Every structure is written in C-alpha cells, then in structure tokens.
Amino acid sequence: MNAKSGKCSEDCKYCAQSAHYKTGITEYPLISTEEAIKRAKENSSFGVDHFSLVTSGKGLAGKDFDDIIAIYKELGVQLPSLRLCASLGIMNEEQATRLKAVGVRTYHHNLETSRRYYKEICSTHTYDDRITTIKIAQKAGLSVCSGGIIGMGETCEDRVDMAYDLKKLGIRSIPINVLNPVEGTPYADKEILAPDTILRTMAIFRLILPNSFIRYAGGRMALGEHQEKGFRAGVNAALVGNYLTSVGNKIPDDIDMINKLGFQLKNIK
C-alpha cells in the first residue's frame, strides 16, 4: 500500500513521486492507522499473507516514523497472521531495530539498476546509500526484498551486474519492475520494453539467482497477454494489487492465471 505519496526530495528520473517533476499524481501525507488496517484486511481476505507499507521520500523521520511504528503495532494486533513488510527508503540502525521490534519481518529496498548506471538515474543519493540500508536491515534481522527497474536505458550488462550484486547481498526476494514511463518525468519518452526482452531478463535473473523468488512487480502490464509466459521464464512470485502510482492486475485474476498454468499457489513464510 502506498502509505505516503509524492513530494519527495529525491530526483529519481523514473519516479512520479519526485517533487522535481510535475506529474499530477495524487499526493497525500502518511495514511491513518484505520486506512492501513482496512486495506490490510481487504488483501488478507484474498489470501494475501504479506502486507507492506511503502512511503515516498528519501527516508522517514520524526513523527512520521513514530506514527508508522504505531500503525505496524496495530496491524500486528488486528491481523496477527499477516507478515508485515516495510519500504520506507533509506534508514538508520535505530529505525531498523524499531521496525523489527514491532514485528516487521521484511524490508524492501531496491538497488534499482547497476552500480555503473545508478548515477544516470538519480543524483540526490548513491548506489552505496542503498547498499548501506540493505546491510543495516539485514544486521537488524530483517529479511530484505530488493530488485530494480528495467527499461530505463540501461544495457543488458547493467541488468546482469544488478543480478550479481543482488546475489552477493544474499537477496532472496527480487521484484523486477518494468519502467512504465510517466508523463512529466525525464523518462516520459522512454520506449517500453518489448515482451521478449522482459521475458529474457526474467530468465537471466532465474539463471543467476536459482534459489531466489523472482517477483513480478510494477509495469508487468507491458507484457500484455504474455504475462503467463513470465511464470515459465522463471518468475515464481508476484507483488499484487495496485502499484504505487499505477494500476496492477486484480488479485483474483492473478490467482486464476497461476491456477490455469497448473502452478500451485503457496504462501511463503
């Protein structure tokens, strides 16, 4: 769930939520506990067992961070079987420890692209800032979900380099987003990747990371009717529901697709 939208100080060129660009997205401050509980219950009723709050911004601090801790506490009380995840940007050790203490089990923080290409996509923080946060999360005992976005102008070698960096970091959950160019961002005119390129990338990630969950994420609508093929190319997990500023598949449609392919749907603990 996008728990805080827009007005971000960072200049990630692909992002609709950056304050550096005029994209017309709906902006809102941190959601209330009631809104989070409502959305978590809706998702849970479809059998979804991981629930993440995702906030815009370089990181969360002060009252916002205290408030999100209170939301996680309440989610834990009201939905004790739900696995809680967080994606709150760059964080410090104390914040990681607090998240762990209120029951958050997974921290999501993408590498986004390769080390070489990162400076092309963002100038307000570095690839190493991202790696530091991943290591802080791991040190605090959180499992880390980290992947990236393809179709931002990177080369095939950049995608392979990112896959090897994720492997080096021991990441088991790897969301692969496909750039969905957003009007108003510097990447508005990027060509959407062809389905064949997306599927080949998924397959290469599967080969490099045989024991990880290669996870469909934002932009997979670019595959159109080829979405099913991704599960044969190596995808074995999916983020479901709507993505941060774009619309995703409906959850029952995803479940139907997976069942139709003859795969067994498992909730991973």
Which residues contribute to the site for ligand SF4 (CB under 6 A)? Answer: 8, 10, 12, 15, 17-18, 56-58, 89
Please, which residue, 233 or 239, has the CB nearer to ligand SF4?
239
What are the phi and psi torsion angles at 248 (to 5°)? -105, -175
Please, which residue, 89 or 230, has the CB nearer to ligand SF4?
89
The alpha carbon torsion through 19, 22, 25, 27 (nearest 10 deg) reads: 40
Return the sign of the alpha-carbon dihedral for residues 18, 179, 85, 115: negative
Q: Residue 85 in 3-state DSSP?
A: strand
Contact at 8 Å (CB) between 152 and 113? yes
Please, which residue, 10 or 67, has the CB nearer to ligand SF4?
10
Please, which residue, 43 or 177, has the CB nearer to ligand SF4?
177
Please, which residue, 86 or 233, has the CB nearer to ligand SF4?
86
Question: What's the closest the beta carbon of residue 20 comes to ligand SF4, in angstroms?
Answer: 8
Question: What's the closest the beta carbon of residue 3 comes to ligand SF4, in angstroms?
Answer: 12
Contact at 8 Å (CB) between 124 and 110? no
Contact at 8 Å (CB) between 175 and 214? no
Length of the chain: 269
Return the closest-CA partner of residue 67 out of 41, 88, 90, 45: 88
Question: What's the closest the beta carbon of residue 18 comes to ligand SF4, in angstroms?
Answer: 4
Question: What's the closest the beta carbon of residue 153 comes to ligand SF4, in angstroms?
Answer: 16
Please, which residue, 82 or 217, has the CB nearer to ligand SF4?
217
Query: What's the N-to-C CA distance of the chain in angstroms?
Result: 20
Question: What's the closest the beta carbon of residue 263 comes to ligand SF4, in angstroms?
Answer: 31
Q: How far is CA 159 from the centre of its chain?
A: 17
Question: What's the closest the beta carbon of residue 55 comes to ligand SF4, in angstroms?
Answer: 8
